[in-house]
């Protein structure tokens, strides 16, 4: 009986220790809940060139790698206050460096750069034929609108790429028209 009790007590203790361990571990890797530590702080400079240097230094720290997205967003804000066509190259170099360093994947690098600095819309689905997405047309249009806003910030404000943002706006309107017409046509015929 005594042996049985000891066994149960040991099992409960092990379970408690395991659970606590898990909680601590998940708290450590969750980027959303973790506050920025001083060494992982966002770039503070108002100058884009300096801010990019700060960002790389921070991201070189193994503990700060999960902060890539907030740092990327912070750089966008800083660069919009220091607009220059060269900013596009700075962001291209940054995502390339981050990808080579294993901070982000190739797909993430391409997705982040294109979303802000190219007229191509990454929010457009690329898996199935257009008719298959007609039930989600409103969501796709909302995603396109959001991405146009991101391009206005990246191409328009940060990189001052007039031709690029003009093409992004024109394409946005054209895609909306073609998607609307296509979904009307898909609904009107038997599919």
Our measurement of the distance from residue 105's CA atom to the centroid of its chain's CA atoms, rounded to an integer in Å, reads 11
For another protein, the closer of residues 40 and 94 by Cβ is 94
Q: Is residue 21 part of the contact set for another protein (CB under 8 A)?
A: no
Q: Is residue 179 part of the contact set for another protein (CB under 8 A)?
A: yes
Q: Find the shortest distance in angstroms from Cβ 45 to another protein.
A: 23
Between the alpha carbon of residue 161 and those of residues 35, 87, 91, 93, 152, the distances in Å are: 35, 10, 14, 17, 10
Q: Find the shortest distance in angstroms from Cβ 99 to another protein.
A: 8
Q: Find the shortest distance in angstroms from Cβ 25 to another protein.
A: 33
Q: Is residue 142 part of the contact set for another protein (CB under 8 A)?
A: no
Binding track, positions 144-163, relative to another protein; x by CB under 8 A: -----------------xxx
Q: Which 71-130 positions form the footprint of another protein (CB under 8 A)?
A: 88-89, 92, 95-96, 109-114, 117-122, 124-130
Q: Find the shortest distance in angstroms from Cβ 184 to another protein.
A: 6
Q: In the structure, how many helices (H) and strands (E) does the chain have?
A: 7, 0
Q: Which SS3 state, helix, strand or coil, does residue 41 take?
A: coil
Among 47, 50, 83, 169, binds another protein (CB under 8 A): 169
Are 154 and 165 in contact by the 8 Å Cβ rule? The answer is no
Are 152 and 80 in contact by the 8 Å Cβ rule? The answer is no
Q: Is residue 186 part of the contact set for another protein (CB under 8 A)?
A: yes
Cα–Cα distance, 163 to 156 (Å, whole number):
9
For another protein, the closer of residues 34 and 130 by Cβ is 130
DSSP string, 154-174: IIIIIS--HHHHHHHHHHHHH
């Amino acid at each position: 009986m005594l042996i049985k009790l000891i066994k149960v007590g040991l099992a409960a203790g092990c379970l408690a220790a395991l659970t606590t361990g898990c909680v601590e571990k998940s708290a450590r890797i969750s980027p959303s809940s973790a506050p920025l530590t001083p060494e992982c702080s966002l770039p503070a400079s108002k100058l884009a060139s300096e801010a990019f240097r700060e960002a790389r230094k921070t991201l070189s720290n193994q503990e700060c790698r999960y902060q890539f997205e907030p740092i990327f967003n912070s750089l966008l804000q800083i660069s919009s206050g220091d607009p220059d066509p060269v900013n596009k190259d700075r962001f291209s170099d940054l995502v390339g460096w981050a990808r080579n360093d294993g901070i982000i994947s190739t797909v993430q690098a391409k997705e982040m750069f294109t979303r802000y600095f190219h007229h191509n819309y990454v929010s457009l689905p690329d898996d199935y034929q257009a008719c298959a997405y007609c039930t989600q047309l409103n969501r796709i249009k909302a995603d396109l609108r959001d991405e146009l806003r991101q391009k206005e910030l990246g191409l328009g404000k940060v990189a001052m790429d007039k031709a690029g943002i003009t093409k992004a706006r024109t394409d946005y309107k054209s895609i909306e028209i073609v998607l609307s017409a296509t979904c009307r046509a898909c609904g009107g015929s038997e599919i």
